[in-house]
Amino acid sequence: MRWLLAKDLKILSRSRMLVAVLVIYPVAIALLIGLAISRSPSKPRVAIVDETPPGQTIQVGSQRVEVSEYAAQLFSQIQPVPVASRAQAVAKVKAGDVLAAVVIPRNIAARLSSNLVPAHLEVIYDGDALEQSLVHSTLNSALAQANLGFSEQIQQAAAEALERLLQGGNLGVLGGPQNLIGLSQIPAGLNRIIARLPPGADRAELERISQFAQFGAQNLLLSKNVLSTVSQPIRVQSTLLHGRRTPLNTFAVVVAVTVSLMFISVLLAAGGVALEREEHALMRLVRGLISRERLLVEKGLLSAGCAFVVAFAMLAGISAFVALDWSRVGQWIAALAFGAVAFGALGVAIGALAREVRAASLLAFLLSLPLAFLALVPAGSVAAGVNNAIDAVSFVFPFKAALQALDAAVNGASPSIGSPLIHLAALTLLFGALARVGLRRAD
């Protein structure tokens, strides 16, 4: 087997373009996928036409809320491009300079203060269905965030007004009454007066007023609490069922490395086996020089070895930029080795069945890429039937198991590394057996 291995390494060393493509292409693809996963989307450029006069405020009780506060909330979700008029905004949207435009009308403050009619923002957008969908989701999210922030400010102002009503004090309005009594202080004051009064109609009347003041104070206190609940009625409390939380960037590293591992191992193994048949050398080899099983093992191990070296180098290189736990290097090696061998087994099966190098490479590529994407589809993001189908497909190919093994090895994610390694070993045997069947005929 060592002579065959030496021969294959010699052939590889003379196929520099192939080696370069086999290494550069998957690494580039892997890095792109990694970047796409780890980087949050950049803020969309949105033209803003702010027609409100500077410093305009909304009156809530005795409090005033600046309209600019609302705009600031909105701008935090987007990349604002200020424009002077609606016409300019339309022109920018048409020219594709901005994804959309938002017009904040002059009367927004008046409408918000009136409490009678809701205020409106105008959203102007264009583009194909994808862009329209992006505008919808992005601006809806941005507006929801801004509305939430704004309503919290209004709720805060309302709560302060209620507090003043309950506790009394100064209104803080120039020329307004000073040292007002609060509703909660009235019952105690009244009760002291009532105690000094003889029984009679006046005392009974004051007792009724005192009871009302007590009742009012208690209910206003409740209203204040209700206000704070209504501003954010549902709060999120997250519970991770198993494992520890995996940062998105280290998961992206795992995805990128697994994709590279898969491409190199599968393509090399598929091409290597198919090449033996295409060069008609398989017939010579299997007539007693080397068994079909040893030939498959040699091809699988060679491709797995190459993939392992590249993938490990990737992990080591990436660790310079992303914090990876080197104390787990033993698990990295196990995950990469089992994954590479399983991908190698898949590759030799493809090579044995496809019979030609081009067909084998094409089949390997066509099979690998969708498998990687399917394995990355989050559970529950598609209909149950489709989800089951995706799970089944992902189960019978090595990508998901390799991803889980490497995620467990690098990030300590769940499931632990044991079960994916067993899964990969089983898939190696399965695809090895399939490759042996494919290699039954040597011509």
Partner 1 sequence: MAAEPPVLSVQGIEKRYGERRALRAISFDVGPGELVAVVGPNGAGKTTLLSILAGVQRPSAGTVVGPASELAGARAIGWAPQEPALYSKLTVEENLQLFARLEKVADPHGAVHSMLEHTGLSERANERVDRLSGGNRQRVNVALGLIADPRMLALDEPSSALDPRQRARLWEFLGELAGRRTSVLFSTHHLGEVSRYATRAIVLADGELLFDGAPGDLIALGGPDAEDLEGAFVAFLADRGH
Binding stretches for partner 1 (CB under 8 A): 3-4, 7, 10-11, 14-15, 279-281, 283-290, 442-443
**Strand ranges for 9-145 from DSSP E:** 45-50, 57-60, 63-66, 79-82, 100-104, 122-125
Least separation in angstroms between CB 365 and partner 1: 22
Whether 351 contacts 299, CB under 8 Å: yes
Longest dimension (CA), the chain: 124
Least separation in angstroms between CB 18 and partner 1: 10
CA distance 441 to 443: 6
- The gap from C-alpha 178 to its chain's centroid, in whole angstroms, comes to 54
Closest to partner 1 by CB, 143 or 290 = 290
Whether 276 contacts 355, CB under 8 Å: no
Closest to partner 1 by CB, 152 or 356 = 356
Q: For residue 65, list its beta bridge partners.
A: 58
Least separation in angstroms between CB 304 and partner 1: 22
**Which residue bears the tokens 């209700």?**
226
Closest to partner 1 by CB, 155 or 303 = 303
Tell me the two tokens of residue 112: 């918000």
Least separation in angstroms between CB 358 and partner 1: 15
CA distance 418 to 334: 10
Those residues with Cβ within 8 angstroms of residue 303's Cβ, 6 or more apart along the chain or in another chain = 264, 265, 266, 267, 268, 269, 272, 340, 343, 344, 347, 348
Closest to partner 1 by CB, 14 or 196 = 14
Closest to partner 1 by CB, 245 or 287 = 287
Residue 132's CB: how many other CB atoms inside 10 A? 13
CA distance 350 to 362: 10
Least separation in angstroms between CB 250 and partner 1: 40
Least separation in angstroms between CB 6 and partner 1: 8
Whether 45 contacts 79, CB under 8 Å: yes
Least separation in angstroms between CB 278 and partner 1: 9
CA distance 209 to 167: 18
Closest to partner 1 by CB, 283 or 433 = 283
Least separation in angstroms between CB 21 and partner 1: 16
Closest to partner 1 by CB, 106 or 280 = 280
Is omega for the bond preceding 415 within 30 degrees of 0, making it cis?
Answer: yes
Q: Starting at the earlier edge strand, list the strands of the sheet with 100-104.
A: 79-82, 45-50, 100-104, 122-125
Closest to partner 1 by CB, 18 or 143 = 18
Closest to partner 1 by CB, 5 or 161 = 5
Tell me the two tokens of residue 314: 């990737």
Least separation in angstroms between CB 100 and partner 1: 57
Residue 82 is classified by DSSP as: E
CA distance 159 to 164: 9
| Of 153, 140, 151, 149, nearest in space to 102 by CA | 140
Closest to partner 1 by CB, 43 or 292 = 292
Least separation in angstroms between CB 285 and partner 1: 7
